[in-house]
Amino acid sequence: MDAMECMLGRQSTPAGLLVEPTPSEDEILDLLQVAMRAPDHGALRPWRFLVIRGDRRQALGDIFADSLAKRDPDATAADIEKARGKPVRAPLVLAVWAEITEDHPKVPVVEQVVATGAAAQNLLNALHAQGYQAILVTGAPCYDENVKGPLGLAPKDALVGFIHIGTARSATPVKKRPDPAEFLATW
Ligand SMILES: Cc1cc2nc3c(=O)[nH]c(=O)nc-3n(C[C@H](O)[C@H](O)[C@H](O)COP(=O)(O)O)c2cc1C
């Protein structure tokens, strides 16, 4: 498949449709070679990836549940159980985060987050090229110190998302995409 055809075929798969097989640790390292090609002002390499598999997904769900209970005193028991169940929907979750260099003379924080987002997108394309399916999700946990801390992030760091990875147990209908002409102007 040529690169354009491949990228034009990528789309996200809902996390609940993802099952094994998933990429092995060696395959993840190969896929991350593509992430390392993201544009990166100042060669700061801000991107970090954390593999969360097996019962570590339940542990992450417990962190989500506890953080919601602390964040929102009005959260119902059902809300908290829903939060707990989020990371176990897919067999593999890769947390993607930016280790932020504060007060950099040339590279503002937003550029470090953009570089990490580009690395995440490269990874999504690489996963697709290798026949896996995935989706990047965020939500309130990404912005909660009670989630970032236990995962090893400092308060300054940016959790860009949780990429849920696996093999789709059923196909997702092909999405209609916007016409790029609507987004292009000539100045
Ligand atoms: C930063 C970011 C955060 C996202 N967070 C969520 C999320 O929490 N839940 C969700 O269903 N989709 C989320 N999405 C959207 C999906 O990743 C995906 O882009 C969307 O479902 C469209 O699918 P596509 O990749 O096939 O275009 C997020 C996307 C981005 C860029």
Regarding the beta carbon of 121 and ligand 1, being less than 6 Å apart is answered: no
User: Looking at ligand 1, which residue's alpha carbon is closest to its atom 31?
Assistant: 136
Q: What is the pLDDT of residues 85-103, one digit of tens each?
A: 999 999 999 999 999 999 9
Regarding the beta carbon of 158 and ligand 1, being less than 6 Å apart is answered: no
pTM over 0.85: yes
Question: C-alpha 185: how far from its chain's center?
Answer: 30
Angle, helices 55-71/77-85, rounded to nearest 10 degrees: 150
Regarding the beta carbon of 161 and ligand 1, being less than 6 Å apart is answered: yes
What are residue 49's DSSP bridge partners?
96
Q: Which CATH class is domain 3-183?
A: alpha beta
Regarding the beta carbon of 175 and ligand 1, being less than 6 Å apart is answered: yes
Q: What is the pLDDT of residue 123?
A: 98
Distances (CA, A) of 167 to 16, 18, 25, 185: 11, 5, 16, 38
Question: Residue written as tokens 């209908």?
Answer: 173
Query: Where along the chain do its domains lie?
Result: 3-183
- Ligand 1 centroid to residue 105 C-alpha, Å: 32
Question: What tens-digit pLDDT sequence spans the chain (187 residues)?
Answer: 699 999 999 999 999 999 999 999 999 999 999 999 999 999 999 999 999 999 999 999 999 999 999 999 999 999 999 999 999 999 999 999 999 999 999 999 999 999 999 999 999 999 999 999 999 999 999 999 999 999 999 999 999 999 999 999 999 999 999 999 999 999 9
User: Looking at ligand 1, which residue's alpha carbon is closest to its atom 16?
Assistant: 136
Q: What is the pLDDT of residues 123-145, one digit of tens each?
A: 999 999 999 999 999 999 999 99
Give the residue among 52, 66, 85 at the shortest CA–CA distance from 147: 66
